[in-house]
Amino acid sequence: MTEALDELHPVLVHHLVNTLGWRSLRPLQQQAVGPLLSGVDTLLLAPTAGGKTEAAVFPLLTALERHGWAGLSVLYVCPLKALLNNVHPRLESYAAWLGRRAALWHGDVTSSARRAILRDPPDLLLTTPESLEAMLVSVNVEQRQVFASLRAVVVDEVHAFAGDDRGWHLLAVLERLSGITGRALQRIGLSATVGNPEALLEWLQGSGRGHRPARLVNSPPATAGTDASADVEVD
């Protein structure tokens, strides 16, 4: 626990303790810090309400500060607008602790809010694959300017995408973003427990499979009499 906290930005650690009232990180969150800070493609597996969002976002916010990333650096992609609306206030608060910004972009976001985002992109942008593609084809969006600083993409509920048409569409959009930025983007998937996590991670990596390091971080199952601080399984 202490070692993982030492890797996170000290302002984040301060707020984890004093704002959120956390006494410790969950095992999944502890084990996610190392690979995410190293830029490794990662699949985080845990049940609903297992702390996956924080496991991904806290190391990425730390990387923002550590590497001095500026402009739109992280995309947070969800399959549903309702899920984006739910997670946005949390990510907005977490980013604000470091003087960073998170914004929402989907079909219900007003035109004025979108124009504000294009004028001054946030550090984190929450969106859907369809809204993301709309940005990539819009004549009103300077794609190379908006996405030039992009470093990482978090795909929430990634198991909902894998194997269907929306999933292949998402992978195509991610490849287009890599072409715009001229770099391989770090891909982070958040998923409920699945029976074939290795295959899901390979799918998320897309055409970069075999060329980029990858890590699977699996939340340990809760069993009677098990200490909540037990080590997680890392495959």
pLDDT at 47: 86
The C-alpha R_g of the chain, in whole angstroms, comes to 17
Phi, psi of 124 (to 5 degrees): -125, 135
pLDDT at 49: 80
Which CA distances in Å does 1 have to 16, 28, 30, 53, 233? 13, 11, 6, 18, 15
pLDDT at 55: 96
Convert the pLDDT of each residue in 152-180 to its tens digit.
Answer: 999 999 999 987 889 999 999 999 999 99
Helix and strand numbers, DSSP H then E, in the chain: 10, 8
- The more confidently predicted of residues 208 and 2 is 208
pLDDT at 43: 97
pLDDT at 232: 28
Convert the pLDDT of each residue in 7-56 to its tens digit.
Answer: 999 999 999 999 999 988 999 999 999 999 999 999 999 988 889 999 99
Structure tokens at 120: 């001054």
- pLDDT greater than 80 at residue 223: no
- The more confidently predicted of residues 227 and 117 is 117
Phi, psi of 10 (to 5 degrees): -60, -30
State the average pLDDT over residues 57-75.
97
| Nearest-angstrom CA–CA distance, 233 and 221 | 10
pLDDT at 221: 56
Q: How distant is the alpha carbon of residue 94 from its chain centre?
A: 13
pLDDT at 235: 27
Structure tokens at 64: 């923002």
State the average pLDDT over residues 195-215.
87
pLDDT at 226: 37
146 and 75 in contact (C-beta within 8 Å)? no
Residue 96: how many other CB atoms lie within 10 Å = 12
- pLDDT greater than 90 at residue 79: yes
Kindly indicate the confidence band of residue 229, based on its pLDDT and cuts at 50, 70 and 90.
very low
Domain 2-220 belongs in CATH node 3.40.50.300:
yes
pLDDT at 2: 60
Structure tokens at 223: 């069993």
Residue 101: how many other CB atoms lie within 10 Å = 17
What does the domain layout of the chain look like in residue ranges? 2-220
Exposure on the CB side of residue 227, measured as CA atoms within 13 A: 5
